[in-house]
Structure 1
Amino acid sequence: MAMCVFACLFLCVDVCVVLSLGVARLLVQHAFVTMWVGGLLRWGLLLLVTCYYPDSPAWMRSFEGFQTVTVHCLLYPAYGTLLWACGRSTVELFWGWQTWQGVSKHFISSSLWSITCCVTCGVTSGEMAIPYYTGKITDWIMKEDEPEAFSNAIKIMSILTIMSAVFEFLCDLIYNITMSLIHTSIQKQVFECVLKQEVAFFDHTSTGEIVSRITTDTNTMSESLSEELNILIWYSMRLLFLYGFMLLLSVRLSIFTVLGLPIIWIIPEFSGRFLQGHSVKVQDSLAKANKVATETFSCMKTVKSFANEDGETERYRMHLEATYALNKVEAAAYTASTWTNSMSNLALKVSILYYGGQLVAGRDVSSGDLVAFVLYELQFSSALEALISYYPHVKKAIGASEKIFEYVDRKPDIPPEGTLAPDALEGHVRFNNVTFAYPSRPGENILKGACLELKPGKITALVGPSDGGKSTIVRLLDRFYHPQSGEILLDGKPLQSYREQYLHEKISVVAQEPMLFARSITENIRYGKEDVTDEEVEAAAKLAHAHKFISDFPKGYDTDTGEKGSKVSGGQRQRIAIARALIRRPQILVLDDATSDLDTESEHMVYQALLRDSSRRTVLLITHRASGAQIAEHVLFLRAGEVVEQGTHDDLVRKNGAYAEFLRQQNTTFHRYTDAEAADLPLA
């Protein structure tokens, strides 16, 4: 019997210390410090129990016993340190530190936190006194004396009940407001962190996945944690007050109750770990389904033109079925966890009733104290059961948050930002032996020692076949990517030495397929330059030859362009984008085939506007048309990532080289073969 008592005491102390250290890891950022200090503290407490408990086994007090306790306490810290030394991720190993750090940072920053704790203490302390006075009433009924004690107990119970109800209302109100602030703050933080990532991040991460993380995952985490944190705070305070009253009534019954707790705590820990890992799989599967839906809706015209509605529906159904299969496993695991928790709690209650009856028979406690203790124990078990039942939900929320806080903690792969922001910028650009390959295709060089120069106040045309690297030069100039070798100079200084915001204010790029936001035309032209006047917006539209068609709209400049500019034509979209670039008064203007959807007359008028205004800025014109190259003062012919020829349009035509051949191919008319000619053609 003495051996069993020692084993229960040893296990109880060990579990309580482990859980206390788990809470400490949630509050202290330095995980390795808490892990090792906690391990040493655990080792010391267990050695004290072993050495000073009179009935501890002899072998436990020997060197072998000390060695066993040492391995038992320090194995986990050593394992975590080994993982860290090997370069493995140890963040979620330390009790889901990412999630709790991110949530508690916003929670503690709110001034409502202290108010919530105070009100919670008031609620719990008021409710906890009610069973105590119930026991006093029971003693009065059993003894039938002290009539004033009965009335006093009733009065106190009534007052405490009213106070508890009022405090509970205030606590719920304050808590819900606080959690709403937390949800908004986390979602805003994730959105801001995603915007700070480098462009390469968006190349390998789909839009659907990002949207799923920002919306679905943050909602899942916030909704779960808002409920679970409420229960955690509420029932944790209840447990403290309940156990305090239980100790006042009977120390032996209280110790007996605690001895059964390790079994109840161990079961949800194992089930919680499984649910946490499975929750990550569910969120990943859901993100893939959202990716399909987002991609389908954004390309709806293409889907309909190819009559592939059934194909996209089938793709989406397959992803949903995969998510459903994972959800079934998760539901089964959660049900099994809940059932085992309920059975273990039931066994504990029966044991306490039996032992309490023995104490009453031996007159160690009164009948009233036993009634009060049983009421406290029922509430204690209920609170503990609630905490345990929601523990898998907490693990699920931690699993859902892993991807969220991966985005928050991810450091953009961007070189240190420069400090240059001169008041005057000439706009002289030079590429010196630039070699570049996209991060998604590291072995395929798009630019191979490219050398080119853009002179201030000049229009330079960049011409060449598709996949030659023309758009890549624009992306490097806009500092979306960084070359593997060579250098890009702006006014003789490295491009990375300039402040990024300053650089994007001085460089404006208009792509072949510009993106417009689902806002008015005025808001699209004014985008990123909110301080410009309506007169400046109209002037920029006139320069881009867009004022006439905008004025023809019923709502004029207030016309909504639709998602990605779907409510305007391709040519109108390009001219609005050109106006958006011109209103910034950039020192360097890049038109990446930005007039491809314009008719000849509109293109001519846009070029005339550029010629009138080109003396004040550097213009890079990427084009496939001879008309665009003819207005340029300097032409660069780019092929296979190298500048093959350069000079004026007329000089390159007279040279009759690669540029002239490219123009001839552009002007070659389609020839329809006769049946006899077609018969002589080689088969593909």
Structure 2
Amino acid sequence: MYAASPTKLLILTEKFKPGTLLPTGDYAFLAWNFVAALILDLSWKYYFSRPLSNYVILDEVDDVSLRLYFYVFFLLLASRIFVPYYTGQVIATVVATKSYSALAASVSVMAFISCVSAIAAGLRGGSFEYAYSRINRAIRYDLFTGVVRQEVAFFDAHKTGEIASRIAADCQTMSDMVAMNVNVFLRNAVMLLGSMIFMMTLSWRLSLITFILVPIIFVASKIFGSYYDLLSERTQNSVAESNDVAEEVLSTMRTVRSFACENVEADRFYMKLTITLNVAKTKAIAYIGFLWVSELFQTFIIVAVLWYGGHLVLTGKMKGDLLISFLLYQMQLCENLRQMGEVWTGLMQSVGASRKVFEYIDRAPTILHYGAAQPSLLRGRIEFRNVHFSYPTRNNVPILRDLSFTVEPGETVALVGPSGSGKSSCIALLENFYQPIAGQVFIDDVPIEEYEHHYIHRKIALVGQEPVLFARSIAENIRYGADVMEGTTMKYATNVGEKGSQMSGGQKQRIAIARALVRQPAILLLDEATSALDTESEHLVQEAIYKNLGGKTVIMIAHRLSTVEKADKIIVINKGKVEQMGKHDELLQQPGTYAALVTRQMVGPQAHVDLSLSSQPR
């Protein structure tokens, strides 16, 4: 319907004599078609276009000078619109006057405008290149801060390689595609508008022929763009999966090498890459179809304009030089339309990449750090009161069942029990990594979630069984997260390597313990902290701990008898419940899990002790 009215108008103007008015119904029909086209476009956007997140990517701190320069260069770029017109004038001058002076004047004007346009285009391109970097920084920062604020359970459910791919690949795709396509869109929009104005000035008849098929090209771009959006999302997901495989293999290279599985892992990575390639193949086929459709309609428009324009020249209704200028504008218009179609495709690709990015940015953590309590003194009294707990990724498997115990300030308490009984889960709840399903954890009779996030983690220090070191110096690892700025000797400037790869297991453990002690915590949590140490090193570390934490609360998980027997109190946990509680000598006299564990450690596995292990390794 949109094309019917302009077509009818062209036919009637050829049949009627000059000055003859069309019937009122024709004008009404023409006006209605334009209104109907607008309504159709708005309806399409409302019902079929999926809105993006309303998250504000950029803030209001952009440089005013940069925006000013961009607007100036953008206006200067509009000078390119005049190039086709003056090209036609040059040809008309040569044909009509056959004068070198007139030719030189016309060429000079066209050359000047072309130079101004080129300079403006270069400056505009540089401004957008800088804008790419700013957008990329903003998106990556927002995504990274959004991810690190998530609860620990989030990282249990999402692989590290996938998250890293979102930060690296998806953010890069978003910033590049959005910034680049906005650049191309603005440039082509200005030139498109200018071309349309000049074309209507030169010949409204030929302009109507050109505009008849414009909606068809936009509809084709819309359909292709929507399909391209789905393919782009599949591409980014497959890239994330392949990156996850690569990250997993590279971080466990010693294990891969020890089992001689290099080829197995390479084949697994190749399979992930092949999935990405197959999606890219589908995208390429779809793009071929889009180009065929757009090029076919553009060719049809050019042929129609040439035929009808030639008719107008032969009948004396149009000058030949104006037809040449019109054709140049039409070719520029077709190029602008083609590039704007590709812009739509590029934006759909960025939409596919942005879904997961904005999902992570907009995701609210399930554990909110809303606490504000910051007492001047934290005594270190710990109480588990009727705690029930299971991990969010395995919520059908209970870990702790109605667990209750108390640790008084200054006590050193050992948590003992079979593997999977829930000891490490108690440590995780004390660190507020997770929240119990029922019951509560108290510190100094205050629920742990009511403490200010940074405050409570300055007062509680954790040393895990597998300490994590950063690829920094020993001194930086020890000072991590603490306000300690003393100078260090060169031996502490040694880089530990990625995840402490250049340190032995015992060295990493000692650095992790030093990192905990330097914070002067009120509560120290040791989860198999001395498991990687030999007997002599363990003795030295234990002496250092007791020397530096006099009067502080210590909760340790250990299996070695030498570590456990010195504790003020031993709590035996089995199958998520407190089974026994007391001192070492007292528990040895009682039949139960503790005596069985000690007997097994001293006598060996031939003691035939029933240790009923939990099904979960936590």
State the partner residue of 2:77: 123
Report the 3-state secondary structure (helix = DSSP H, G, I; strand = E; otherwise coil) of the residue aligned with 2:413.
Answer: strand
Counterpart of 2:613 in structure 1 is: none
TM-score (norm 1): 0.81
SS in 2 for 1:606: helix
Structure 1 residues 672, 427: closer, same or farther in 2, change over 3 A?
Answer: closer
Deviates more, 1:662-671 or 1:146-155: 146-155
User: What is the SS of the residue equivalent to 2:468?
Assistant: coil
Equivalent in 50, 53, 67 of residue 93 of structure 1: 50
Q: CA deviation at 1:607?
A: 1.6
1:225 is aligned with what amino acid? V
* Structure 1 residue 240: Cα displacement: 1.6
What one-letter code is carried by the residue in structure 2 that aligns with 1:414?
Answer: I
Identity over aligned residues, as a percent?
35
Post-superposition CA distance 1:106-154 (Å, at most 9, x none): 6994543443233122112x21112222333344445439998655433
- 1:551 paired residue number: none
Q: Following the alignment from structure 1 to structure 2, what is the Cα–Cα distance between the partners of residues 204 and 184?
A: 27
Q: How far off is 1:71 after superposition? A: 10
Amino acid at match of 1:334: Y
| 1:302-345 deviation per Cα after TM superposition (whole angstroms, max 9, x unaligned) | 11222222221221122222222222111111122122211111
Counterpart of 2:531 (choices 596, 614, 629) is: 596
Secondary structure of the corresponding residue to residue 513 of structure 1:
coil
What corresponds to 1:523 in structure 2?
A: 476
Is the contact made by 1:561 and 1:567 (CA closer than 8 Å) also made in structure 2? yes
Q: Is the 8 A contact 1:282 1:327 kept in 2?
A: yes
Q: Retained in 1: the 8 A contact 2:465–2:531? A: yes
Counterparts of 1:15-164 in structure 2, within 5 Å, are 53-54=26-27, 56=29, 79=47, 93-94=50-51, 97-98=52-53, 105=58, 109=62, 111=64, 112-124=66-78, 126-144=79-97, 152-164=105-117
Deviation larger for 507-516 or 145-154: 145-154
**Structure-to-structure mapping, 1:264-303, within 5 angstroms:** 264-303=217-256
Cα displacement string for residues 140-179 of structure 1 (whole angstroms, at most 9, x for unaligned residues): 4454399986554333223222222221221111111111
1: CA distance between counterparts of 2:253 and 2:492?
A: 27
The amino acid across from 1:351 in the alignment is A
From the superposition, tell whether residues 630 and 233 of structure 1 become closer, same or farther in structure 2 (CA, over 3 Å).
same
- Per the TM alignment, residue 256 of structure 1 is displaced from its structure 2 partner at its CA by 2.4
Quote the offset at 1:425 in angstroms.
1.1
Which of 518, 534, 548 is 1:583 aligned to? 518
Partner of 1:36: none
Contact 1:138 1:367 survives alignment (8 Å): no
> Is 1:209 the counterpart of 2:162 in the alignment?
yes
The residue correspondences of 1:224-303 to structure 2 (distance < 5 A) are: 224-303=177-256
Q: Is the 8 A contact 1:107 1:178 kept in 2?
A: no
Quote how far apart the aligned CAs of 1:226 are: 3.7
Identify which range, 151-160 or 426-435, moves more after superposition: 151-160
Q: Verify the 8 A CA contact 1:338 1:389 in the aligned structure 2.
A: no
What is residue 5 of structure 2 aligned with on the other side?
6
**Contact 1:428–1:455 (8 Å) recurs in 2:** yes
Say if 1:424 and 1:599 are closer, same or farther in 2 by CA, change over 3 A: same
3-state SS of paired residue (2:461): strand
**Contact 1:458/1:619 (8 A) holds in 2:** yes
RMSD between aligned residues: 2.9
Deviation at 1:72, TM superposition (A): 6.1
* Residue 391 (str. 1) matches residue 344 (str. 2): yes
Q: 1:630 to 1:53 in 2, by over 3 A?
A: farther
Matches within 5 A, 1:588-627: 588-627=523-562
CA distance, structure 2, for counterparts of residue 633 and residue 304 of structure 1: 45
Between the aligned partners of 1:483 and 1:508, the Cα distance in structure 2 is 21
- What is the CA-CA distance between 1:480 and the residue it aligns to? 0.6
**In 2, Cα distance between the equivalents of 1:435 and 1:101?**
37
Deviations 1:15-66 (A, max 9, x none): xxxxxxxxxxxxxxxxxxxxxxxxxxxxxxxxxxxx9754649xx99xxxx9
Secondary structure (helix, strand or coil) at the match of 2:554 reads strand
Deviation for aligned residue 1:470: 0.6
Distance 2:230 2:260 in 1: 39
Which ranges in structure 2 are unaligned for 5 or more consecutive residues? 10-23, 609-618
**Distance verdict in 2 for CA 1:652–1:3, change over 3 Å:** closer
Q: Give me the whole-angstrom Cα distance separating, in 1, the residues matched to 2:305 and 2:61.
A: 39
TM-score by length of 2: 0.89
Q: Is the 8 A contact 1:113 1:178 kept in 2?
A: no
**Rounded Cα–Cα distance in structure 1 between residues aligned with 2:602 and 2:268:** 43
- From 640, 643, 664, give the equivalent of 2:575: 640
1:489 to partner: Cα distance: 1.0
Contact 2:370 2:450 in 1 (8 A): yes
What amino acid does structure 2 have at the position aligned with 1:598? Answer: L
Q: What is residue 404 of structure 1 aligned with on the other side?
A: 357
Following the alignment from structure 1 to structure 2, what is the Cα–Cα distance between the partners of residues 180 and 70? Answer: 37
Question: The residue matched to 2:393 in structure 1 has which SS?
Answer: coil
> Retained in 1: the 8 A contact 2:2–2:212?
no
Native 8 Å contact 2:599 2:607 kept in 1: no
Given that residues 369 and 453 in structure 2 are in contact (C-alpha distance below 8 angstroms), is that contact kept between their aligned partners in structure 1?
Answer: no
Task: Give the Cα separation in 2 of the matches to 1:9 and 1:575.
Answer: 88
Q: Which amino acid aligns with 2:504?
A: S
Q: Secondary structure at the match of 2:565?
A: helix
Cα distance in 2, alignment partners of residues 109 and 255 from structure 1: 42
Deviations 1:590-614 (A, max 9, x none): 0001001111122122222222233
Q: Deviations over 1:263-317 (max 9, x none)?
A: 1111121111111101111211121111111111111111122222222122112
| Secondary structure at the counterpart of residue 385 of structure 2 | strand
2:265 maps to 1:312: yes
In the TM superposition, residue 181 of structure 1 has moved relative to its aligned partner by: 1.6
Number of positions where the alignment pairs a residue of Structure 1 with one of Structure 2: 591
- TM-superposed CA distance for 1:347, in Å, is 0.9
Counterpart for residue 329 of structure 1: 282
Closer, same or farther: CA 110–209 of 1 in aligned 2, 3 Å = farther
* Alpha-carbon spacing, 1:73–1:247, altered in 2? closer, same or farther (3 Å): closer
Letter in 2 for 1:353: L
- Specify whether residues 380 and 605 from structure 1 end up closer, same or farther in structure 2 by C-alpha distance, changes over 3 A only: same
| Alignment CA distance shift 1:651-1:9 (3 Å) | farther
Provide Cα deviations, 1:78-114, integer angstroms capped at 9, x if missing partner: 857xxxxxxxxxxx713xx23x9656x3699454344
Verify: 1:628 aligned to 2:585, yes or no.
no
Question: How far, CA to CA, are the matches of 1:645 and 1:467 in structure 2?
Answer: 17
Aligned with 1:187 (options 130, 133, 140): 140
* Aligned match of 1:680: none
1:3 touches 1:56 (CA, 8 Å); kept in 2? no
Alignment map for 1:520-559 (pairs within 5 Å): 520-529=473-482, 531-534=484-487, 556-559=491-494
CA-to-partner distance for each residue in 1:210-243, whole Å, 9 max, x for gaps? 1111112222333333432221122112112222
Q: Deviations over 1:498-531 (max 9, x none)?
A: 1111111111100000111111111111111254
Residues 119, 76 of structure 1: alpha-carbon distance in 2 compared, 3 angstrom cutoff: closer
* Correspondence list, 1:350-369, <5 A: 350-369=303-322
1:207 to partner: Cα distance: 0.7
* 1:367–1:201 distance in 2 versus 1, CA, 3 Å: same
Question: Are the structure 2 counterparts of residues 74 and 213 from structure 1 closer, same or farther at C-alpha, using a change threshold of 3 Å?
Answer: closer
Partner AA of 1:6 in structure 2: S
Letter in 1 for 2:576: G
SS at match of 1:631: coil
- Contiguous gaps of at least 5 residues in structure 1: 11-50, 81-91, 539-554, 674-684
Alignment CA distance shift 1:368-1:211 (3 Å): same
Is residue 659 from structure 1 mapped to residue 616 from structure 2 by the alignment? Answer: no
Within 2, Cα distance between the matches of 1:185 and 1:523?
28
Q: How far apart, CA to CA, are the structure 2 residues paired with 1:230 and 1:77?
A: 23
Match for residue 16 of structure 2?
A: none
TM-aligned CA deviation for residue 589 of structure 1: 0.5
